[in-house]
Amino acid sequence: MGSYTQLTYHIVYATKYRTRSIVTEIRERLYEYIGGTLRSKNGRLVQIGGVADHVHLLAQLSPSLAVSGVIRDVKANSSRWMNEQPEVKRTFEWQKGYGAFTVSYSRIPKVRAYIHNQEEHHRKITFQEEYVDFLKRHDIQFRTEHLFEDEHHG
């Protein structure tokens, strides 16, 4: 008997200090680059979206790779790529850490729609509020003072 998997994750991470540095002029190309990096890791980008200070990925990942390693590579490669783009006026970095939440197959359409509607969603709620809500809904213990890097406090 063969082994079969369907490992889908909702992954969220922010720019360093949540600076609004994912400018509209480059956003789609960044998303394409992230999708290519996932494909190079035997993954598949199902949906991507976000706003100027963070991204959401709905991705199917290979069971042979650690989620943390894939995300590390996606962030490192996309950060390097961003810094090579003329539209990026100052050093681009992702914030340390990420959120990764498993998604059951039946919930994929709902999560896709949520990610697709990020611009509208963030007219009502900040990234910080959204992220804390994700952690609470997934019953993940955290300390607020350790969640977000601050430019003045590390």
Question: Is 150 among the domain residues?
Answer: no
Contact 21, 88 (CB under 8 A): yes
Residue 104 lies inside a defined structural domain of this protein: yes
In a domain, 154, yes or no: no
Taking only the tens place, the pLDDT of each residue in 50-103 is: 999 999 999 999 999 999 999 999 999 999 999 999 988 889 999 999 999 999
Q: What is the pLDDT of residue 66?
A: 97
Chain segment 17-62, per-residue pLDDT in tens: 999 999 999 999 999 999 999 999 999 999 999 999 999 999 999 9
pLDDT of residue 1: 83
Averaged confidence pLDDT in the chain:
93
How many domains is the chain partitioned into structurally? 1
Domain span at residue 62 reads: 8-145
Query: For residue 96, what are its two tokens?
Result: 């340390």
Q: Could you tell me the CATH number of the domain that includes residue 83?
A: 3.30.70.1290
Instruction: For residue 105, give both structure tokens.
Output: 């197959």
Q: Is the dihedral of CA 47, 58, 134, 150 positive or negative?
A: negative
Does some domain include residue 153? no
Q: Is residue 3 part of a domain?
A: no
Q: Which long-range contacts (CB under 8 A, 24 or more apart) does 142-149 make?
A: 148/14, 148/18, 148/95, 149/16, 149/17, 149/95, 149/96
